[in-house]
Amino acid sequence: MVKKISLLGATGSIGTQTVDVVREAPDQFKITALAAGKNIGKLREIIRETEPEIVSVDAPADATLLSGEFPKVEFVHGREGLIEVAARSDADVVVSAVVGSLGLEPTIEAIRNGRNIAIANKETLVAAGDIVTAEARRHGISLLPVDSEHSALFQSLNGEKAERAERLILTASGGSFRDKTRDELEGVTIEQALDHPNWSMGSKLTIDSATMMNKGLEVIEAHHLFGMPYDRIDVLIHRESIIHSMVEFADTSVMAQLGSPDMRVPIQYALTWPDRLPRKGTERLDLAKIGTLHFEEVDLNRYPALRIAFEAGRTGGTATTVMNAANETAVGLFMEGRIAFTEIEGLVERVLDRHAVISSPDLGTVLEADSLARKSVLDMVK
């Protein structure tokens, strides 16, 4: 049976690679709903190719423009449009791949509508992991990891209960500045920060990888997806991004998932699970050619964002919501050239220090904490 897919974040790095996967297996998948932001040129191409029933864009003017060009497609817009595409779609799976905690409400609506979620949008789980996983349990849907590390953990668990695992080991490339000391980070440029050694990804995630906030977000994501306490989640620097992550069991066995760094592999697995399809166009792993794999401990003084994320995760409640929102805002300021790269973690930590944590927030409280944290960062750099 053809699987119907609703794709949120269609024009982004994960979105366009999801379209690649669908293109390669038209007898398996059909995209019926799309959501994007401002990249109307790319969206036009994707609409032409996939012929969806409904599409959401950010601006009302773009929705009107595209309605004229594609009369058979229904267009909606803005935050409500994004939620409508997620909630109304009759898709078998919703690929949640917008960037940022903007993905939270549509993902929750999709879960409440009984859709399985292929979750790339890690910020949703960091902002409100307890709420999202509780909704998933209540509605009996699957949260299928797309993030490469979490797909690796999921595959390494291979049906075993996460409780049986003793330790999750997330691998980290070290990001664009892994060969620089903390002092050498002074004055680094946006272009340098965007030059990831192994992966081609959206800009926000590439900056997060350089601060290692990405790994911090992923630790929190793993905690929620696999129910693992923080003191049993480790991070290991592995420059090559060939081992995507590992699970250690009580008998000392370690299961790992390896492969070429190509996000179409975990995207496809989330869409085909529990089956697998052949993958055209992904380079097969040739370990003899690679020769050597490297591993290193993480120095939390070099990467304070990872320490901040572990602390926020252990605190729980709105601490992770606030950390995520402050980080999104600080990364945005860096991308606008308004702050230095080395100011990102300090801003996040200052906002967290001033925040009075609410331990079991409802969705309204999460959204309010998120928006206040964004404002706090902006106030600090005025």
Segment contacting ligand NDP by CB under 6 A, of 62-70, 83-91, 120-128, 281-289: 120-128
Query: Between vectors from CA 113 to CA 152 and to CA 277, what angle results, nearest 5°?
Result: 35
Q: Closest residue to ligand NDP, Cβ-based?
A: 12
220 near ligand NDP, judged by CB under 6 A: no
Q: Hey, what are 261's tokens? A: 């760094």
161 among the known binding-site residues? no
Q: Which stretch binds ligand DXP (CB under 6 A): 72-80, 142-150, 331-339, 353-361?
A: 142-150
| Least Å from the CB of residue 27 to ligand NDP | 26
Do the beta carbons of residue 333 and residue 377 sit within 8 Å? Answer: yes
Q: Residue 262, interface with Mn ion (CB under 5 A)?
A: no
Cβ-based neighbours of 27, under 8 Å, separated by 6 or more: 2
Neighbours of 262 (CB within 10 A): 18
Contact region with Mn ion (CB under 5 A), list: 36-44, 69-77, 129-137, 148-156: 148-156
Per CB under 6 A, contacts with ligand DXP among 168-197 are: 172-173, 175
Q: Is residue 209 a contact residue for ligand DXP (CB under 6 A)?
A: yes
Per CB under 6 A, the list member of 4, 6, 13, 246 interacting with ligand NDP is: 13
Instruction: Report whether 301 belongs to an annotated binding site.
Output: no
In the list 84, 147, 208, 349, the residue contacting Mn ion (rule: CB under 5 A) is: 147
Q: Which two tokens stand for residue 379?
A: 């106030």
Cβ neighbours of residue 1 closer than 8 Å, sequence gap 6 or more: none
Task: Fill in the amino acid letter for 189.
Answer: T
Is residue 42 within 8 Å of 33, Cβ to Cβ? no
CB of 122 to ligand NDP, least distance (A): 5
Asked if 221 interacts with Mn ion (CB under 5 A), we say no
Complex with ligand DXP: residue 86 or 205, whichever CB lies closer: 205
Q: Which of 11, 148, 156, 320 binds ligand DXP (CB under 6 A)?
A: 148
User: Which of 5, 6, 10, 220 is in the footprint of ligand NDP by CB under 6 A?
Assistant: 10
Cβ proximity of 66 and 44 under 8 Å: yes
Alpha-carbon distance of 332 to 121, in angstroms, equals: 17
The residue (of 11 and 148) whose beta carbon lies closer to Mn ion is: 148
Please report the sign of the dihedral spanned by the C-alpha atoms of residue 272, residue 276, residue 278, residue 284. positive
CB of 214 to ligand DXP, least distance (A): 4
Nearest to ligand NDP of 99, 380 (CB atom) = 99
For 240, which DSSP code?
T
104-135 in b/e burial notation, b at 16+ Cβ within 10 A? bbbbbbbbebebbbbbbbbbbbbbbbbbbbeb
76 in contact with ligand NDP (CB under 6 A): no
Distance of alpha carbon 209 from alpha carbon 177, whole angstroms? 9
Residues 307-346 contacting ligand NDP, CB under 6 A: none
Confirm or reject binding of residue 125 to ligand NDP (CB under 6 A).
no
By a kind-dependent CB cut-off of 5 to 8 A, residue 87 interacts, out of Mn ion, ligand DXP, ligand NDP, none, with none
Q: Is 109 annotated as a binding residue?
A: no
- 196: amino acid identity, one letter: H
Check: CB of residue 298 under 8 Å from CB of residue 306: yes
Question: Which residues of the chain form beta strands (DSSP E)?
Answer: 3-8, 29-35, 54-57, 74-77, 93-96, 116-119, 143-145, 165-172, 233-237, 243-249, 254-258, 296-297
- Interatomic CA distance for residues 257 and 150, integer angstroms: 10
User: Is 39 marked as a binding-site residue?
Assistant: yes
CB of 196 to ligand DXP, least distance (A): 6
Q: Which residues bind Mn ion (CB under 5 A)?
A: 147-149
Q: Which residues bind ligand DXP (CB under 6 A)?
A: 147-149, 172-173, 175, 199, 201, 205, 209, 214-215, 263
Residue ranges at the known binding site: 11-14, 37-39, 121-123, 147-149, 173, 196, 202, 209, 214-215, 218
Residue ranges at the known binding site for Mn(2+): 147, 149, 218
Q: Which residues bind ligand NDP (CB under 6 A)?
A: 9-15, 35-39, 58, 82, 97-99, 102, 120-123, 147, 199, 201-202, 204-205, 263
